[in-house]
Structure 1
Amino acid sequence: MALNLSIVLSGLSFFLRIHLQPIALQPRGGSGTVGVNYGLNGDNLPIPSDVINLYGRCGINIIRIFEPNHGVLDALKGQANLVLWLGTRNEDIEGFATDQVAANAWVNANVVPYYKDVNIAYITVGNEVVPADAAAPFVANAITNIMQALVNAGIQSDIKVTTVVAMTALEVSYPPSAGAFTATAAGVMKDIANVLGSSGAPILVNVYPYFAYASNPEQISLNYALFTSSTPVVVDGDLHYFNLFDAMVDSFYAALEKIDAGGVGIAISETGWPTDGNEPFTSVDNALTYNKNFVKHVTSGVGTPKRPNVFYDAILFEMFNEDLKAPGVEQNFGFFYPNMNPVYPFWNC
């Protein structure tokens, strides 16, 4: 997660994976399963094997890592019930896009030694390079070349290749039906959507109602941000929105429709609420309320007003408070301290 996840608001715009089968026992996608991101931006974090054991004790079924860490990948071997979303570094994207040999080398180094023993569901090509990162124009071809690299390596599995996008890719997000990409993002997103449309992979989106709310508490109610509103807050045609998360996701669906990509699904690669950071509205109570209600919402299969009764998978941010992240809220999204004690009681472990 980057600090620029703060959602740009305008006026009232307050929103914003064929023959050998891996060992998977869990559904790969669209199952309403919730996981947790595992970041490594700390100098005092537990060893990977202890972390993976913690995931198991807590019954967390999806783990996302932001780049291939072989210590983590080794610890995941044989963990059939833990699904992995495996990221690539942003700085590698242009190389993947322009050189099939580079894509082949990455797959040979980071997937071939592991895919039979590690339950890899997604390879995520970069994190939040869309809309503004210089690598953004290369993402679609990088996805294509990583897909081809899997074929070249003889990996006949159902690993999907996609990317992670921030809500800042939207120029307009209110009302949700008006959702539209920025001029910078639209062409890039159309190219990415074309690739994903042919492969069946969803687009992964980082969705943070916290940042939207903290940016404009005068116009956004805390109940709306925390899933606690008992009445609709936004009425958009026939669609009634009781929570900001749904409105943000549906604005992204609307933006996809405007680039003729309405058939591309969405999964949630990050969401959460900070417990501290000397910023407004950060607290254990708010984090507990948001995350508890978010899990209930996702696992219920209710979907969103625009996509009702559609299951999607989602990953909460994040496993640990990480002291090497930027000071403030960025260091305070964790469910656990580095000593593996809980920041607040959430998981049954």
Structure 2
Amino acid sequence: MAYQSIVLMAAVALIFGVLIATPSRAQPIGVAYGTQGNNLPPPNEVVDLYKSKNIQAMRLYDPNQAVLQALKGSNIQLMLDVPNADLQSLASSPSAANDWVQKNVKACFPDVSFKYIAVGNQVIPGDQAQYVLPAMKNIHSALSSAGLSNQIKVTTSIATGREVLEQYSPPSSSRLSSGASTYLEPIVQFLASNGAPLLVNLYTYRHYIGDPNHIGTKYALFTSTETVIEDGQYSYQNLFDTIMDALYVALEKLGGSNVPIVVSESGWPSADGFGATVDNARTYNQNLINHVGQGTPRRPGKAIEAYIFEMFNENQKPQGAEQNFGLFYPDKQPVYPINFT
């Protein structure tokens, strides 16, 4: 009996150790769904495409009623944006925020699986930055009045260019711009008090094309097999982790060490731009999917929730690479093969 007990205890310890050591993959990979095209499939077909490809989360940039109807019963987790054009009115009027929530959220709940309301996209810093936190507070209050504040988190999305993240390498010396930190510090405190994440649009592509000789494609595409950046005890082989850890350090400096980061956009164009090829786009996005469950050097094993930009090539966006971030053509054929599982 003693021998059997020892064997059983050893087996339990081994299993438990494996569970602890295995990186978490609980967070689903999402895909942003933009609608700036005059040849895109109808929303019900788009939702069916998400389901057929096992894409479990969606970012939607405005409360498109046809899309919200199509999402009902799909179990696709939704990040819904408050468009930038609505920020000022929602910031100044609690009743306007209440109307917005009643029409676009409460009317569809629980048939639509809302997860986040993103109040504004990349407006910090800038003329509209002053409206972000007041609008967030009003939307949060409206959700609370509707009994939904525990299920749906209110946040905002920021860019990771120099206008926000002034310095990112090495991560330990990361620094936000003064214009960004002025607005982000109280926002981070609001997020921390409500258990909500900060959304970041993180494009290694944009950093790469800004300094291709220094950054290099391997560092940007997750394909480097060697350390590129040494930062004390932390080593970095890819630019994505470098920027993520720089953001973690920046949040710590603002008192947001417990605020999670959700990558609300990340992607690579397949045509019409420097370094924009089908092979590079496929490599980046597949490696992103494969990588986010591992965490970063500063947050090892802590899975990152991420949304790929974007579902379709959109012909009404500015000419060039901006029209070619899609995983699919408007006829629903893949631009390149990719595996979400």
TM-score of the superposition, structure 1-length normalised? Answer: 0.88
What is the 5 A alignment of 1:139-218? 139-155=132-148, 157-168=150-161, 169-218=164-213
**Alignment CA distance shift 1:330-1:61 (3 Å):** same
Displacement of 1:30 in angstroms is 8.3
Displacement of 1:157 in angstroms is 4.5
Q: Which amino acid aligns with 1:250?
A: D
What is the 5 A alignment of 1:78-117? 78-80=73-75, 82-117=76-111
Superposed CA offset, 1:103-144 (max 9, x none): 101001101110110110101101111122x12122122111
Alignment counterpart, residue 266 of structure 2, candidates 254, 271, 286 = 271
Please report the RMSD computed on the Cα atoms of aligned residues, expressed in angstroms.
1.6
* Structure 1 partner of 2:44: 49
Displacement of 1:260 in angstroms is 2.0
Alpha-carbon distance between aligned partners in 2 of 1:144 and 1:30, rounded to the nearest angstrom: 31
8 Å contact from structure 2 (residues 81, 119) kept in 1: yes
Q: What secondary structure sits across from 1:219 in the alignment?
A: helix
Q: What secondary structure sits across from 2:107 in the alignment?
A: coil
* Structure 2 partner of 1:335: 327
What is the 5 A alignment of 1:257-336? 257-277=252-272, 279-298=273-292, 301-336=293-328
**Which deviates the most, 282-291 or 305-314?**
305-314
* Structure 2 partner of 1:122: 116
Structure with higher Rg: it is 2
Alpha-carbon distance between aligned partners in 1 of 2:299 and 2:182, rounded to the nearest angstrom: 24
Alignment counterpart, residue 243 of structure 2, candidates 248, 252, 257 = 248
* Structure 2 partner of 1:19: none
How many pairs were matched up?
A: 316
8 Å contact from structure 1 (residues 194, 261) kept in 2: yes
Displacement of 1:312 in angstroms is 2.1
Alpha-carbon distance between aligned partners in 2 of 1:157 and 1:270, rounded to the nearest angstrom: 24
8 Å contact from structure 1 (residues 180, 258) kept in 2: no
8 Å contact from structure 1 (residues 233, 243) kept in 2: yes
Displacement of 1:212 in angstroms is 0.7
- Higher relative contact order at CA 8 Å, sep ≥6: structure 1 or structure 2? 1
Displacement of 1:309 in angstroms is 1.5
* Structure 1 partner of 2:9: none
Displacement of 1:151 in angstroms is 1.6
Alpha-carbon distance between aligned partners in 2 of 1:126 and 1:244, rounded to the nearest angstrom: 26
TM-score of the superposition, structure 2-length normalised? Answer: 0.90
**Which deviates the most, 156-165 or 71-80?**
156-165
8 Å contact from structure 1 (residues 129, 135) kept in 2: yes
Alpha-carbon distance between aligned partners in 2 of 1:148 and 1:77, rounded to the nearest angstrom: 24
Question: Which protein has the bigger helix share?
Answer: 2
Alpha-carbon distance between aligned partners in 2 of 1:157 and 1:333, rounded to the nearest angstrom: 34
**Alignment CA distance shift 1:165-1:156 (3 Å):** closer
* Structure 1 partner of 2:10: none
8 Å contact from structure 2 (residues 26, 303) kept in 1: yes
